[in-house]
Structure 1
Amino acid sequence: MTPIPEEKLPEFFKDVARKNVLYAPLRSKTVNPIDWNFKITSWKQLINLYCSSNKVFCFSLESLKVAFQDNGRTPSCLEEVLENMLQNKEIEPLVIFIEKKPKTWIEWAKKSLISVPFTWSLNKMKNFIISPDLNKLEYVPLDVIHHEADLLLKELSIIHKNEVMSLAELIQERNIDVNKQRDFEILFVSLYNRNKIDMLETEESSIKSENLLIKICDPKHYEPISEVDLGIHTLKANEKALEKNIEFLTESANKCKDEAKAFIVKGQKQLAKASLKKKHEIELRINKKAETLYNLHTLWNKLQDMTLSEEVLDSYKKALGAFEGTLNKGVNTDAIDDTMLKVAEMLEIQSDMESALGRSLLDNEDEDLERELEDLMENDKFNNDNKGSPSRDNDESLIEAMKTLELNLPSVPSSPVIVHYSDQNMSKEVN
């Protein structure tokens, strides 16, 4: 089974024939440079995909052989691939990675991060002297861990910007599995090496995560852990300790109260009084610790207000500097008035240009249009005169014509007219 998700798997690794070539021994680069380049490049891509997909930030030659085991066979050229990646600074031995710059917590890093006994010297590593532990020598994929570390810092800085927290607190907050804690810690080493966070060990020769402090810096601005940061962290630690202690004492006081009730039921008044007395003593301790906790809350709020005030003041200073820089460039009321006058002149010129561009290119264009319009009107009048539905003007002309019309009609008879009905031989006189 491949250690890389199917959707991320390269096409060349899905092809059986090409996959068999990848698992075969690596030929000499001078004999077959194409085959050599294909295998080296392909395995680099596969190793980075394996690390990024599975959040693996530290591996060895031995662990890679196990991860890429396929039907009982292991890749035969991984050692050459890792050597090439080392030469190109794509990977780095873990023991060199954690010693990139002076640290106060180097002993913690050696004990916590290096699983193989620290028997390698830097000279041995740089010269690649063969050793029985060579297969177990651990490497970090630099591009992968730098990318993942930057994403982690971006997420943490949203909530904890410029805040100092212990590694234990971060592990608990992120709900990191025990098996993944080592990889999680390597990400912080990556950020520290690139001056993106600061780290400090509070107790020497200790590998407890509670003793390693980490300052979550702004991704764009690095700030080391200061005395003020340590003071705030101590306040927060004391606050949490007091809260837990008060919670414990409250439970003890309630337990004494329940004991007193039980003694009363049994008729043991003296024991009941003793339990109540013990309860009152515990409550006095609770009140004192609650007052101390209140004072710590007040100090914490004051410190937060001071920090916020500093940030606001810094913003004001930056804004003031921007204003001064703008004014020094000659921005004043006279310059603004001159600019506005020039803008008005340019707008007027632009308006004239638009009018000029909108004029007709031909002088007799209007005359042609008038002539064409008259022709259309004449044609329209002719069509109206010949339509079947007369207009009002046509009605008046028709009435005038009818007045002058002479009709040759017979005259009205002077004697009665007799009408005969043929059916019944009847006649009727019509006047």
Structure 2
Amino acid sequence: MGLTDRQIPSDKLPQCWSDDVRMNALFAPFRIKSANPESWDMKMKFWSDLVRQWCRYKTDPMVSAADVKSAFQRKGRTAACIEIVIEEMYRGGNLSPISKYVQILHNGPESLLHWSARMAFRPAVFAVSTVLSLLPVRQQLDNDGLPKASIESTQRFVLESVVKEQATQFIDSYPPGETRIGTIDELMKYSQWQGSRETFEVILGYLVSQGVAVKKGDVVKLAEPNKKATAVTEADEALVKLTSAEARLEADMERLSKELAAAETDAKPALKLGNRLAAKNHLRRKHKIVVRAQLCDAALENVRHLLHQLREVDSNAAIVDTYR
């Protein structure tokens, strides 16, 4: 058994994993369902449950058939039935395209509602065929007469149940007192997110779909505990812009401080060696850095003053106008 570094520990694998006869059957391709529906359903349940368990263990709702096959190798073999499992989970609504929640995040929950409404008013047969047409068209049986999936092995989906669990955990465990509004990158930093940005966007998209987060432009706003998110206001946008400006100016001040220290360090040996020209150049460079640092410090103080006022007052149109 050779699993990847994101594998489920062996003690959490099903007991039958060590049973060669049983696992040979579970690793084999699906047969025609009508020939033995009970066997089909049993194999489907085994693998779909394992996919859910694996996504929970790796704390990532992203999954593809290739991922699963790579993760659950056994004695050098990969299961020949996983594409069918993933396709059936997708058709059953357990999996969704990654684009679903990314679209909701960037275009709002209405983007999905409009699509659903259009589908609801179409004839049932046409609606079903439209959904199935989202998958690449392929023959239903392979050359051996066995069921063949209509998805690519590398096609990636999100597991709905794990997205919900992770989103709930994210919002419930958000650091108390930490800022709940910012750009996507800033919220990743505030929340100490350890996963990928792609997964973070999916989580945010789910929260938007549940009314627990809202997005306007580059600004994402999370709801307070046990509340729904309120709309992003002009003051919110100004707050995020000022916070970003503060972070940039602080980084500039840190960089200038290092440059200033380097200029002073370079000037001292030149003076000791009597190299007045070199020393003069270093001191001139130091003076320029000091001037830039003073301007940067003044700008930083101004931004901090505006931030203080903005945080103290719920609505301050004058500050918003100042930063437009």
In the superposition, the TM-score normalised over structure 1's length comes to 0.56
1:65 matched residue in structure 2: 69
- Structure 2 CA distance for aligned equivalents of residues 96 and 259 of structure 1: 57
Residue 225 of structure 2 corresponds to residue 244 of structure 1:
no
Q: Is the 8 A contact 1:161 1:216 kept in 2?
A: no
Q: CA deviation at 1:240?
A: 1.8
Aligned-pair distance for 1:92? 1.4
Aligned residues of 1:62 and 1:135 also touching (Cα < 8 A): yes
Q: Which residue of 2 aligns with 1:152?
A: 170
1:53 counterpart = 2:54:
no
Q: 87, 90, 101: which one pairs with 1:83?
A: 87
C-alpha distance in 2 between matches for 1:182 and 1:188: 10
Q: For residues 187 and 135 of structure 2, what CA distance do their matches in structure 1 show?
A: 40
Moved more, 150-159 or 228-237: 150-159
The answer to whether the aligner puts 1:187 opposite 2:187 as a matched pair is: no
- Aligned partner of 1:426 in structure 2 is none
In structure 2, what residue type is equivalent to 1:227?
A: E
Percent identity of equivalent pairs: 24
Partner of 1:287: 294
Deviation at 1:250, TM superposition (A): 2.8
- State yes or no: 1:9 paired with 2:13: yes
CA-atom RMSD, angstroms?
Answer: 3.3
Larger Rg: 1
Within 5 Å, give how 1:268-283 maps onto structure 2. Answer: 268-269=275-276, 272=279, 275-276=282-283, 278-283=285-290
- Map of 2:152 onto structure 1: 134
Query: Which residue number in structure 2 is paired with residue 103 of structure 1?
Result: 107
Partner of 2:213 in structure 1? 197
In the alignment, residue 72 of structure 1 is paired with which amino acid? G
SS of the residue corresponding to residue 215 of structure 1 reads strand
Residue 20 of structure 1 aligns to a residue in which SS?
A: helix
CA contact (8 A) 1:27 1:35 kept: no
Matched residue, 2:35: 31
Where does residue 215 of structure 1 map in the other structure?
Answer: 221
TM-aligned CA deviation for residue 145 of structure 1? 1.6
Q: Which digits, 9 at most, give the CA deviation of each residue in 1:75-133, with x for residues without a partner?
A: 233333233322321111224453458718xxxxxxxxxxxxxxxxx766446522996
Q: Deviations over 1:266-308 (max 9, x none)?
A: 3344664564455345334423332332222222222222259
CA 41–298 in structure 1, closer or farther in 2 if over 3 Å, else same:
same
- TM-superposition CA deviations, 1:299-352 (whole Å, max 9, x none): 2222222259xxxxxxxxxxxxxxxxxxxxxxxxxxxxxxxxxxxxxxxxxxxx
**Contact 2:105–2:205 (CA<8 Å) still a contact in 1?**
no
SS of 1:36's equivalent?
Answer: helix
What does the per-residue CA deviation read over 1:386-430, in whole Å, with 9 as the maximum and x for residues that have no partner?
xxxxxxxxxxxxxxxxxxxxxxxxxxxxxxxxxxxxxxxxxxxxx
Secondary structure (helix, strand or coil) at the match of 1:156 reads coil
Residues 61 and 136, structure 1, Cα contact 8 Å, conserved in 2: yes
- The number of residue pairs the alignment matches comes to 279
**Is structure 2 residue 246 aligned with structure 1 residue 228?**
no
Q: Does 1:176 align with 2:184?
A: no
Aligned partner of 1:264 in structure 2 is 271
CA distance in 2, matches of 1:73, 1:5: 18
Q: Distance in 2 between matches of 1:72 and 1:164?
A: 47
State the alpha-carbon separation in 2 of the partners of residues 18 and 302 from structure 1. Answer: 68
Counterpart among 166, 171, 180 of residue 184 in structure 2? 166
The code of the aligned residue for 1:216 comes to L
| Offset, 1:142 | 0.6
Please give the secondary structure, in 2, of the residue aligned with 1:64.
helix
SS at 1:174's partner residue? coil
Instruction: Measure, in 2, the Cα distance between the counterparts of 1:21 and 1:294.
Output: 69
TM-score (norm 2): 0.71
Aligned AA for 2:88?
N
Query: C-alpha distance in 2, partners of 1:276/1:78?
Result: 69
Distance in 2, matches of 1:187 and 1:160, equals: 18
Query: What SS does the corresponding residue of 1:135 show, helix, strand or coil?
Result: coil
Q: After TM superposition, give the deviation of residue 233 of structure 1 in Å.
A: 1.3
Shift of the 92–264 alpha-carbon distance from structure 1 to 2, 3 Å rule, reads closer
Q: Does the CA contact (< 8 Å) of 1:86 and 1:92 recur in 2? A: yes
Are the structure 2 counterparts of residues 270 and 146 from structure 1 closer, same or farther at C-alpha, using a change threshold of 3 Å? Answer: same
Following TM superposition, by how much is the alpha carbon of 1:226 offset from its aligned partner in structure 2, in angstroms? 2.5
Distance 1:157 1:221 in 2: 18
Matches within 5 A, 1:302-321: 302-307=309-314
Distance 1:258 1:37, change over 3 A: closer
Q: Distance in 2 between matches of 1:199 and 1:35?
A: 46
Q: Partner of 2:153: helix, strand, or coil?
A: helix
Report the 3-state secondary structure (helix = DSSP H, G, I; strand = E; otherwise coil) of the residue aligned with 1:98: helix
The letter of the residue matching 2:247 is K
After superposition, the C-alpha distances for 1:212-249 in whole angstroms (9 at most, x for unaligned) are x4323225311233221221111112112222222233
Do the aligned partners of 2:60 and 2:162 also contact (CA within 8 Å) in 1? no
